[in-house]
């Protein structure tokens, strides 16, 4: 007897665990990073409210930032390894042609919240690919800022210490934008958040749309 669609596992346990670890690490790094930024801002007119920062003071923020950095890097490497060797990246994110993306982009914009839970539309695929590169830019520029002498070649490649800080800042903005879109879509699409806890297929947005 075949399992019902709701019994189908759409998010394996490994993906769910790494997803929530990444979520915690990314938010902790953002909040501690904002506290570090306030101590020496890249742009004088930009400040982050103390209530949105983590660490309490500069040394505390640095301790949080460096501790969570290793968690994010190790967990990210584990996720990348899984995505490559399991075929997840190619199967669910990369395997679309430019022409099909072009033909379906306008349609996806209209029904972005009406796709089924566990499915990846063109917009989601592009966003997930972009956020991987954003995180890589954050890690690389962060290393250049953290150890500019030890990683002087990397720092020079980014245009120097101050330019590396700017790369880090704008990559941070990219991560914030991704998180805002990602969380907004997860809340808008019925069953998405639930499936990231249970791993099982929930009623899709498309099905919910048909009933309205």
Whichever domain contains 113, its CATH number is 1.20.950.20
| Dist. CA 130–CA 124, nearest whole Å | 10
Q: How many domains does the chain have?
A: 1
Per residue, the 3-state secondary structure of 44-94, as one string, reads CCCCCCHHHCCCCCHHHHHHHHHHHHHHHHHHHHHHHHHHHHCCHHHHHHH
pLDDT at position 102: 53
Residue 158's domain comprises 5-211
pLDDT of residue 197: 80
The pLDDT of residue 164 is above 80: yes
Q: Answer yes or no: is pLDDT of 2 > 90.
A: no
**Looking at residues 175-193, what average pLDDT do you find?**
83
């Amino acid at each position: 007897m075949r399992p019902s669609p709701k019994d189908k596992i759409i998010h394996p346990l490994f993906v769910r665990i790494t997803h929530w670890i990444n979520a915690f690490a990314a938010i902790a790094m953002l909040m501690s990073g904002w506290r570090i930024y306030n101590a020496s801002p890249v742009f004088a007119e930009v400040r982050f409210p103390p209530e949105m920062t983590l660490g309490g003071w500069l040394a505390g923020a640095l301790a949080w930032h460096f501790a969570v950095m290793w968690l994010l890097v190790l967990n990210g490497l584990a996720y990348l390894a899984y995505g490559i060797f399991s075929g997840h990246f190619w199967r669910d994110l990369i395997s679309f042609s430019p022409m099909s993306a072009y033909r379906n982009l306008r349609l996806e914009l209209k029904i972005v919240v009406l796709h089924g839970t566990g499915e990846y539309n063109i917009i989601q695929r592009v966003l997930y690919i972009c956020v991987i590169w954003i995180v890589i830019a954050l890690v690389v520029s962060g290393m250049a800022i953290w150890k500019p002498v030890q990683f002087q070649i990397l720092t020079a490649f980014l245009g120097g210490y101050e330019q590396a800080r700017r790369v880090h800042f704008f990559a941070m903005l990219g991560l914030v934008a991704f998180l805002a879109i990602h969380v907004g879509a997860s809340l808008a699409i019925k069953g998405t958040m639930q499936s990231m806890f249970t791993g099982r297929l929930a009623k899709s947005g498309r099905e919910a749309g048909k009933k309205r």
